[in-house]
Structure 1
């Protein structure tokens, strides 16, 4: 007869055996699943027939080859195999399409392209060979389109990149170099990355001396144009000191309708924790200048530089909330404004408008929705350039027309994190 201790020992042994059996069964199950997972989804079904009726359309930097697909339910895609910069590369097109794109070629030399129909089990048909004669790559059209002009602190460059589309963007780099007389070589100055079909950018921070500059265009596949050289003399500018806030009333021109209360000047005021001086403290984020809310619009904010200055450009940074993009293109950040200037602020007829802007959100999405490009541009700051012929003034006024939260509104407010001015001081 078994005692209690022996019974307990036997029960314990049974439990251990059961646990081992469960673990062993589980391992077998996992191994079975693993083996099943490793099997190919599609078995060998045989290579499909070749494509037919290949037609070549030569385009800049490559070709578009259209064809008739074989009638095969296992067809997955068509691939084109060709040489690019000394290496064999492939372009693929799914069975939903009837053409394949050969791209990234940096010359106009004829070359052979082999086309294969490929099944779901990655079996390739016999090749069909065609010869293409690519046109000059688009980088040369971009180089030819460059419109380069001397500007304050550097130059302005406009470009066209017509090959680039939303469906098939053409990424390029527009490089700027300067000739080093001592070393007899080009030195990097700046580079602009873009896939836009057209646009412009500025190069800043250059000395106001004549130098030989070079411009080239490069694409994703390292195709590069020759260097376009020209002598340029940037126009002298410097970052101006912070202007003071003019608190006294002054007469302003009323090009637009008067504010709703009929007063000639809206009294913006400012929140005590967001003083006007914080607009020029070189700190960007959830800080800066914040006017009182529900001001009649337009509202005027007048500034005194203390002497005459010829403004060349200015840059503003939107307020962001807690180091994120919550307020970008929203809330009290400026949407539309004008800048007026004078040397005799008491004379209403002396004020002239020197700039008018409507801030553009790159994505064009509704308020409250932003893309990564929207955020990056806002973080970098929005820069606006004035014409070279702008005259010198001591006093300017920011005419706040509306903010992003109150577009075309009769009431509103304004906040910005930072505002900086550049130009020339005039004695």
Structure 2
């Protein structure tokens, strides 16, 4: 009985200790009120829109990080860099005027060292370099904004258009990232001389002025799918599973589309050095094409199986005498075309954005100086299952009818 009482008392005491520990306020493992030493040997490398500041760290054992305080767009900004680095980056500055940055060491007790003031001289901000490259030129159905994003920044490109009273107001936006694009086309405009403006804003809310110019958009129509017809040239693949070519211009992305055999290797036609699946179609009219769009097989098939991932498109105005044995005389309208999955996720894992993108179709522009064509040849370089067979639900083209 005595042993039982002793056990209960010990357990109760241990429980109280645990409760006491749990209620104890958590704080730094090392607690003091001694300020750390300052950084030394500071150097500055001025960069577009900021600077890279390097320094020698103090020997304080409890030093935790280096904090930089500076002003950006009228707001006090605090940037921090781990004690395991000997530098800190200052970003997002639009002005090129000299600016002070105050650097302090912070230790594990949240004590701060005295500040070391450094003056930086930011170079031209990336958003201003981007803006200086802007050029608005005519394009089919609207205006093309040419640009050079040499710093690979994320930015919103804002288009302004004149209203019925001639006043410039915001119309639409495009978003760019660190990709290889050099232009973007804003559409839905009539082919009449109009005043347009363009500006840019970056992720730090630095915004440029508005550059204005008058542009005459090029007329653009959607080609009538009722005029389309299928052809079969040497090297083209036969349809399979009852999914025939005319399904690609029946006006629906549901049901059956076009499908080639999954067991055929394809044919090698110069300039290609390996066999690919391809098909040829007749637009029914000769047109100077501006762009085209195709729709993947929908549902659980998006971004997988036989949906094209890498492809090329060729065009010609008259069928050649060799009946497709070569691409001599053809114009390559899309070179190294690639379908991009927005989420970048694994095959079979699709986000809501992926589904929306597939439902809206995959659109690609043709060179603005490409000649008028009537016949289209689609070469599938690789599908999403690493194979060469194709399935496509629908295909549309835009441009101007040749006179």
For normalisation by structure 1, the TM-score amounts to: 0.75
Of the candidates 376, 390, 393, which is equivalent to residue 414 of structure 1? Answer: 390
Q: Of 265, 271, 292, which aligns to 2:261?
A: 292
Distance 2:393 2:235 in 1: 24
What SS does the aligned partner of 1:142 have? helix
Secondary structure, in 3 states, of the residue corresponding to 1:176?
strand
Could you tell me which residue of structure 1 aligns to residue 168 of structure 2? 185
Q: Within 1, Cα distance between the matches of 2:16 and 2:114?
A: 43
Which structure 2 residues correspond to residues 3-402 of structure 1 after superposition, within 5 A? 28=16, 31-36=19-24, 38-44=26-32, 46-164=34-152, 170-180=153-163, 182=165, 184-196=167-179, 199-243=182-226, 246=229, 249=232, 252=233, 264-272=234-242, 274-280=243-249, 283-284=252-253, 288-295=257-264, 296-297=266-267, 298-320=276-298, 322=300, 325=303, 327=304, 331-333=306-308, 335-343=310-318, 348=323, 352-360=330-338, 375=354, 379=358, 381-394=361-374, 396-402=375-381
* Distance in 2 between residues matched to 1:197 and 1:270, nearest whole Å: 37
Structure 1 or 2, whichever has the larger Rg, is: 1
Q: Secondary structure at the match of 1:38?
A: coil
CA distance change for structure 1 residues 332 and 222 in 2, over 3 Å: closer, same or farther? closer
Ranges in structure 2 where 5+ consecutive residues have no aligned partner: 1-7, 268-275
SS of match in other structure, 2:188: coil
Q: Which runs of 5+ in 1 are unaligned?
A: 1-19, 165-169, 253-263
Structure 1 CA distance, aligned partners of 2:58 and 2:322?
A: 81
Choose 344-353 or 178-187, whichever is displaced more. 344-353
Q: 1:124 to 1:418 in 2, by over 3 A?
A: farther
Q: How far apart, in 1, do the equivalents of 2:256 and 2:18 lie?
A: 58
In angstroms, what is the RMSD of aligned CA positions? 3.9
Please report how far the alpha carbon of residue 305 of structure 1 lies from its aligned counterpart in structure 2 after TM superposition: 3.4
Please give the TM-score of this superposition, normalised by the length of structure 2: 0.79
**Contact 1:49–1:126 (Cα < 8 Å) also in 2:** yes
How far is the alpha carbon of 1:127 from its aligned partner? Answer: 0.9
Closer, same or farther in 2 for the Cα pair 1:189/1:399, shift >3 Å? closer
Instruction: Say which SS state the counterpart of residue 338 (structure 2) adopts.
Output: coil
Does structure 2 retain, via aligned residues, the 8 Å contact 1:367–1:404?
no
How far did residue 202 of structure 1 move? 2.1
Cα distance in 2 between the residues matched to 1:398 and 1:91: 54
Deviations 1:121-148 (A, max 9, x none): 2211111112223233221111122344
Q: Conserved in 1, the CA contact under 8 Å of 2:333 and 2:370?
A: no
Counterpart-to-counterpart distance in 1, 2:71 and 2:117? 13
Partner secondary structure for residue 123 of structure 1: coil
- SS of residue in 2 equivalent to 1:66: strand
- Write the distance in 1 (CA, Å) between the matches of 2:91 and 2:319: 61
Q: Structure 1 pair 35/95, CA: closer, same or farther in 2 (3 Å)?
A: same
Structure-1 residue corresponding to 2:5 = none
**Alpha-carbon deviation of 1:67?**
1.3
Once the two structures are TM-superposed, the CA of residue 332 in structure 1 deviates from its matched residue by 4.8
**Range with greater deviation from structure 2 (330-339 or 45-54):** 330-339
1:322 alignment partner, SS class: helix
Q: Residue 119 of structure 2 aligns to a residue in which SS?
A: strand
Q: Any conservation in 1 of the 2:239–2:258 contact (CA below 8 Å)?
A: no
Secondary structure of 2:20's partner?
helix
Distance in 2 (alpha carbons) for counterparts of 1:75 and 1:371: 45
Q: What is the CA distance between 1:240 and its match in structure 2?
A: 1.7
